[in-house]
Amino acid sequence: MIYVMSDIHGHRRRFDSVMKQINLQPEDTLYILGDVIDRNPDGIRILQQLRAMPNVVMLLGNHEYMMLDALYNIPDEEDGYADYLREKRLNLWYRNGGDVTHRYLKHIRKSVRQEILEYLDKLPVNIEIMVNGQKYLLTHAAPEDEYLNSSMKHRDGREFAVWHRYRSHDRGPDDYTVIFGHTPTTEHQLAKPATIWNGRNLIDIDCGAAYEEIDVWGIVIKTRLACLRLDDMKEFYSEEDLNEEGNQRR
């Protein structure tokens, strides 16, 4: 079986809830479309757990990209520019919930921290797969090759692939379906609670798990962590906030 998950954002209870439901077997494959870290405290722990699983394939998200920008991919300059750039990138990361991840990284061995950064730096931003004769492109935000047709506000195609945002009226490529995260599905639909969004050759699986709820024009939507099984398109959602009767805990 082929599973796809995105935007865990360090939310341990929701992650454990979904993993229990899918009951991943050795012959299965789980693709993680980035943003394992930030906003909640268990991002690095979950990342290390996923790294240790041989049937998990990771892609880079914009939050891992920001962490690399702030801690790893800094030019070696002697005129103070590197310090300025590091501070600027660190502030951007912190504004997007990276402070909780950075605090954890500061308390682990330097060698382990370096190993994590090197691992993330090598992650792909796009992966193409075929399931039951259907071609899918997996990405955090968008296909890298769409960069040349974009407004070019990003540094390169790799940055574009983790930062671009699809809108509800957008259409995916004719010959394959793009599965992505990054943009909560509440941007496309007002389903309560949040559910996976199916557009025109586009599937958004980010159901806003970074937050407990999202307010859309006064409409409060309960968020969840989602996972999609591509073999039969079955949807799985975190149930950590439900009681034994299936009702929302208060």
Task: State the DSSP string of 50-110.
Answer: HHT-TTEEE---HHHHHHHHHHT-----SSSHHHHHHHHHHHHHHHTT-HHHHHHHTTS-H
Q: Is residue 114 part of a domain?
A: yes
Q: Which residues pair with 144 in a beta bridge?
A: none
CA 2, CA 69: separation in Å to the nearest integer? 31
Q: Is residue 245 part of a domain?
A: no
Per-residue pLDDT of the chain (250 residues; tens, 9 = 90+): 999 999 999 999 999 999 999 999 999 999 999 999 999 999 999 999 999 999 999 999 999 999 999 999 987 766 688 888 999 999 999 999 999 999 999 999 999 999 999 999 999 999 999 999 999 999 999 999 999 887 768 889 999 999 999 999 999 999 999 999 999 999 999 999 999 999 999 999 999 999 999 999 999 999 999 999 999 999 999 997 554 444 444 3
> Kindly report the CA angle at 30 between 71 and 93, in degrees rounded to 5?
20
Q: Is residue 249 part of a domain?
A: no
Q: Is residue 242 part of a domain?
A: no
Note the pTM of the prediction, 2 decimals: 0.94
Q: Which domain holds residue 173?
A: 2-237
Q: Is residue 65 part of a domain?
A: yes
Q: What is the CATH number of the domain that holds 68?
A: 3.60.21.10
Q: Is residue 170 part of a domain?
A: yes
Q: Is residue 199 part of a domain?
A: yes
Exposure class string for 44-58: b at 16+ Cβ within 10 A, else e: bebbeebeeeeebbb
- Per the structure, how many domains does the chain have? 1
Q: Where does residue 204 rank: exposed (0-12), middle (13-18), buried (19+ CB within 10 A)?
A: buried
Q: Is residue 154 part of a domain?
A: yes
